[in-house]
Amino acid sequence: MNYSFRIRRLLSLPVLIVLTLNSFAFTGGEGDDEGNGSIRGKVSTTDNKPAAMVNVILKNSRKRVLTADDGSFTLRNIKPGEYQLEISLVGYETLEQSVLVEAGKSAQLNLQLKISEKELDEIVVKSGIKGYKSSNISPSLRLQEPLLDVSQNIQIVTGKALADQQVVSMSDGVIRNVSGATRLEHWADMYTNITMRGSQIQAFRNGFNFVNSYWGPLTEDMSYVDHIEFVKGPAGFMLANGDPSGLYDVVTKKPTGQTKGEIALTLGSFDMYRASLDLDGKLSKDSKVLYRLNVAAQNKNSFRQFEYNDRYSIAPVISYQIDDKTKLTAEYTWQHAKMSDVGSYYVFSTDGYATLPREFTTMPPGLAPTVIDDHSVFLNLQHQISSNWKFTAQAAYSKYKQQGSDLWPAAVNPDGTMLRSMSIWDAQSHMSLGQAFINGNVKTGKIQHRILGGIDVGTKAYMADWSQYHMLDTAGAEFNTKNPVYGVPVNGYPTFDRTLNLEARSVASGGNIDQSYTGLYAQDELGFFDNVLRLTLAGRYTFVKQDEWGGSRYSAKHFTPRIGLSVSVDKQTSVYGLYDQAFIPQSGKLADGGKVKPITGNNIEFGIKRDWSGGKWNTSVSVYRILKENELTTDPNSPPTSGLSIVMGQKRAQGVEFDLKGSIASGLNLIANYAYTDSRVTKVADGVTGMKVGDVVPGYAKHTANAWLSYQVQNGALKGIGVGGGATWMGDRATGTWSKTNPQFNLPNYFRLDGSIFWEKEKIRLSLNMQNMLDEYLYSGSYYDYLKAYYWQAEAPRNLRFNITYRF
């Protein structure tokens, strides 16, 4: 039997399973054991809206379920008797209901939360009890089950945590809320580029892979972000092509059906002025047409002279409830960035790291800005086939356009002088993405099935022109880093030729990346012993075509299996194990002219999760090992804008991670995490001389620890006043890139302390945050062999942000 035929047979099995179970769902295959009964019902709010994703628990048992979008739920195979149901939304007032189960019958219930959605929202705002912990994942991750049941480490950064820390963009300190995440501050607030478990993780938005090049998508403004989900380990089997180290999924704000609004104003150090508006409401009296509009504008300079980064965003969303079972949501996001030359954030010296003042810059005044326009459109259609089956189809389109330049040295001399050059950096990308999947919840005999199956397609095109350059300095009239003089450069300002269209210029400079892919996947989570033990069996087949950097088009295909096991020790504790394989197309241009191959690898992970104090806070501990083949890394002998890479061979990442989130006492919220990461080269590709077996992989810290604690007075004369603070520590930090000269040269340990004070009453909140309270000289960097110099990117010194938020 040939390989392709075996693949087709493997792919046909999940389809047959789905079809078979679908027939069971409608012909009694999901029925209860003889002599037992079931409980069916719907949960709504007092304004008669269906309540989705509500926890329904049969007390004194291990049976639990989440309500569907229409508020419906079913608990099956229950022995006759009188029971208590517990109905809850995390942090909200809990409802309990008595129910009598009779043999061979189904008890029917209509349950109503005691307060309306609007009142619920006001309770969350006033008390902050929604806090830092979430028990459920968003529909964009497609796993319709409580987070405690999932056989994988998933961490959620809530909107409450983002607000308390005054996070304004994806690259603005979000990673402190997740164990093991580090960032190299690539071009400041332009790209996020997060490293976790030894590799750069993939950037997703609403379930779509939004990586348009090696540098990633434009970092998201937090004005339109609801929360962020960090998936540790592989998730590419269901969420498009992804790295086995993980991904982050930015989940944007959607209409809630409530009529409310929020306006926020922020003033900060370095001439930061920011305003945002969030409007949420109805466009029709029958509540079938809802809207959400988020607008933000920000002007911000830098602690370095001549630098600035101005951002503007508009994000309207409209949802239409076509009928009781079908909903269509349309979303558009526009981001505009106008910023100083993107290379100015780098500092170079032959003397070592941090040997120049923190505020030092090589950028002269008068340079033309880099301007970026980022447009994205999302369409999402959800249809509730029945209480057990749900179909989702969604599409996304993204267009990114950049016109700018990159300041980079042509030479760095031991006497402190350097030759500065500027290259053009115009870029554009288009992405068309589509997904369709079905979720099912059925029963065969005594086995409960959570079914997931679907298709995922995408086309991505990226083009860039960096072929033109201009020398700002000349030999004999170099720029002196130890005695800088800013003004008109000796050679004047660059005038780049943009007569030709970008498509033609990118072909000439070899700056094209094109990719198209199709993926089919299926998953069945089998629940045994009243869903106490959950076995996940899944597989994905991916076919991809790609060409990049002027090379010929090639194709690749691969089948990746997945198996997971999760066991509920009790109602609040679960342990899990996971094995998964990865197949990731990658783009790059090899320095030796070779052919780029997709990344392959596998992941083994074990963990334990627990909810404490009735679900008010939780902890998770995981251990893992990841093996990856063929991964590219930046060529240390070339500038980063050259796009040149080398093949690592094989690398192994392994470690331990701990996360704690939630409300540990009345008014006291805590986020704390620690990660030990060890990522090393285990095999070296043929012909590669810049690394050896045992070398540390660049771009991560062996030890990372974070904490953020917030306390708000709940009663008395000081009610509403609060304080918060957090710290980040990283030890044994690897440099950002490979170096033949300094292969094991690590960065110094990192420690940062932040704090806040705030006051909140009814509709208004005032907060003052201080970042880098100890005024430490903080940076990340590496050593570039081709320049024979160190480079680093410094963080801001001690600075303040004052925010006032009014809700109406």
Q: What is the DSSP string of 722-743?
A: EEEEEEEEEEEEPPSS--SSST
Buried b (16+ CB within 10 A) or exposed e, 694-707: ebbbbbbbbbbbbb
What is the 3-state composition of the chain as percent helix, strand, coil, each rounded to the nearest 5?
10, 55, 35
Element spanning 764, H or E: strand 764-771
3-class SS at 707? strand
Distance between CA atoms of residues 740 and 188, nearest Å = 26
Give yes or no for residue 587 having a pLDDT over 90. no
pLDDT more than 90, % of the chain: 58
3-class SS at 140? helix
CA angle (765, 770, 772) in 5-degree steps: 150
Distance between CA atoms of residues 471 and 690, nearest Å = 30
Distance between CA atoms of residues 101 and 79, nearest Å = 7
Give yes or no for residue 486 having a pLDDT over 60. yes
Identify the residue with better confidence: 758 or 81.
Answer: 758
Full 3-state SS string of 33-73: CCCCEEEEEEEECCCCCECCCCEEEECCCCCEEECCCCCEE
How many Cα atoms sit within 13 Å of 491 on the Cβ side?
A: 17
CA–CA distances in Å: residue 93 to residues 75, 115, 661: 22, 9, 20
Q: What sign results for the dihedral spanned by CA atoms 128, 129, 131, 137?
A: negative
pLDDT at 184: 75
Element spanning 798, H or E: none
Full 3-state SS string of 530-591: CCCEEEEEEEEEEEEEEEECCCCCEEEEEEEEEEEEEEEEECCEEEEEEEEEEEECCCCEEC
pLDDT at 186: 65
Give yes or no for residue 569 having a pLDDT over 80. yes
Instruction: Please compute the mean of the pLDDT values over residues 732-746 and round it to a whole number.
Output: 75
Buried b (16+ CB within 10 A) or exposed e, 446-477: eebbbbbbbebbbebbbbbbbebbbbbbeeee
Q: Are the C-beta atoms of residues 100 and 119 closer than 8 Å to each other?
A: no
Give yes or no for residue 8 having a pLDDT over 50. no
Distance between CA atoms of residues 233 and 254, nearest Å = 27
Which residue has tokens 């660049």?
A: 698
Instruction: Please compute the mean of the pLDDT values over residues 615-627 and round it to a whole number.
Output: 94
pLDDT at 25: 37
Give yes or no for residue 701 having a pLDDT over 70. yes
The amino acid at 304: R
Beta-carbon count within 10 A of 321 CB = 18
Residue 115's pLDDT band, with cuts at 50, 70 and 90, is: low
pLDDT at 777: 97
Phi-psi label, residue 240: left if phi above 0, alpha if psi -120 to 50, beta otherwise:
left
Distance between CA atoms of residues 303 and 184, nearest Å = 18
CA neighbor of 242 nearest in space, from 545, 513, 8, 560: 560
- Could you tell me how many residues make up the chain? 808
Greatest Cα pair distance in the chain: 95
Instruction: Please compute the mean of the pLDDT values over residues 351-372 and round it to a whole number.
Output: 95
Q: Are the C-beta atoms of residues 156 and 177 closer than 8 Å to each other?
A: no
Q: Are the C-beta atoms of residues 555 and 544 closer than 8 Å to each other?
A: yes
Residue 693's pLDDT band, with cuts at 50, 70 and 90, is: confident
DSSP state of 88: E
pLDDT at 22: 40
DSSP state of 214: T
Which residue has tokens 């060409």?
A: 547
Element spanning 356, H or E: none
Instruction: Please compute the mean of the pLDDT values over residues 130-150 and round it to a whole number.
Output: 85
The amino acid at 753: L
Distance between CA atoms of residues 722 and 4, nearest Å = 62
| The token pair that represents 515 in the structure block | 């990719």
Beta-carbon count within 10 A of 542 CB = 23
Residue 588's pLDDT band, with cuts at 50, 70 and 90, is: low
Give yes or no for residue 270 having a pLDDT over 80. yes
| The token pair that represents 540 in the structure block | 């994905």
Q: Are the C-beta atoms of residues 247 and 182 closer than 8 Å to each other?
A: no
Distance between CA atoms of residues 751 and 731, nearest Å = 9
- Lowest mean pLDDT: which of 72-81, 328-337, 428-437? 72-81
The pairing of strands 405-412 and 370-384 is unpaired
Give yes or no for residue 4 having a pLDDT over 50. no
Q: Are the C-beta atoms of residues 292 and 262 closer than 8 Å to each other?
A: no
Instruction: Please compute the mean of the pLDDT values over residues 296-311 and round it to a whole number.
Output: 96
The alpha carbon of 532 is separated from its chain's Cα centroid by a whole number of angstroms, namely 30
Tell me what the pLDDT averaged over the chain comes to. 86
CA–CA distances in Å: residue 18 to residues 31, 402, 559: 17, 45, 19
CA neighbor of 293 nearest in space, from 248, 249, 256, 336: 256
Tens of pLDDT, residue by residue over 408-461, are 999 999 999 999 999 999 999 999 999 999 999 999 988 999 999 999 999 999
pLDDT at 265: 98
The pairing of strands 55-58 and 370-384 is unpaired
The amino acid at 347: V
CA neighbor of 692 nearest in space, from 655, 631, 650: 650
DSSP code per residue over 421-455: EEEE-EEEEEEEEEEEEEEEEEEETTEEEEEEEEE
Tens of pLDDT, residue by residue over 705-730, are 999 999 999 999 999 999 999 999 99
Distance between CA atoms of residues 679 and 694, nearest Å = 9
> Quick one: 174 exposed, middle or buried, by C-beta within 10 A (0-12, 13-18, 19+)?
buried
Task: Extract long-range pairs of 785-788: CB within 8 Å, 24+ residues apart.
Answer: 785/636, 785/637, 785/739, 785/740, 785/741, 786/636, 786/637, 786/638, 786/639, 787/348, 787/409, 787/411, 787/412, 788/350, 788/412, 788/741
Distance between CA atoms of residues 254 and 327, nearest Å = 13
Q: What are phi and psi of 121, to 5 degrees?
A: -60, -40
pLDDT at 13: 37
CA angle (489, 491, 492) in 5-degree steps: 60
Buried b (16+ CB within 10 A) or exposed e, 83-93: bebebbbbbbe
Residue 139's pLDDT band, with cuts at 50, 70 and 90, is: confident
- Lowest mean pLDDT: which of 294-303, 640-649, 757-766? 640-649
Radius of gyration of the chain (CA): 27
| The token pair that represents 266 in the structure block | 């922020």
Which residue has tokens 């302390």?
A: 753
pLDDT at 193: 87
Residue 92's pLDDT band, with cuts at 50, 70 and 90, is: low
| The token pair that represents 225 in the structure block | 């972000």
DSSP lists the bridge partners of residue 722 as 712, 758
Give yes or no for residue 45 having a pLDDT over 90. no
Distance between CA atoms of residues 251 and 228, nearest Å = 6
The amino acid at 518: T
Which residue has tokens 């790295």?
A: 243
Give yes or no for residue 589 having a pLDDT over 90. no
DSSP state of 201: P
Residue 785's pLDDT band, with cuts at 50, 70 and 90, is: confident
DSSP state of 136: B
Distance between CA atoms of residues 455 and 583, nearest Å = 16
Give yes or no for residue 490 having a pLDDT over 70. yes
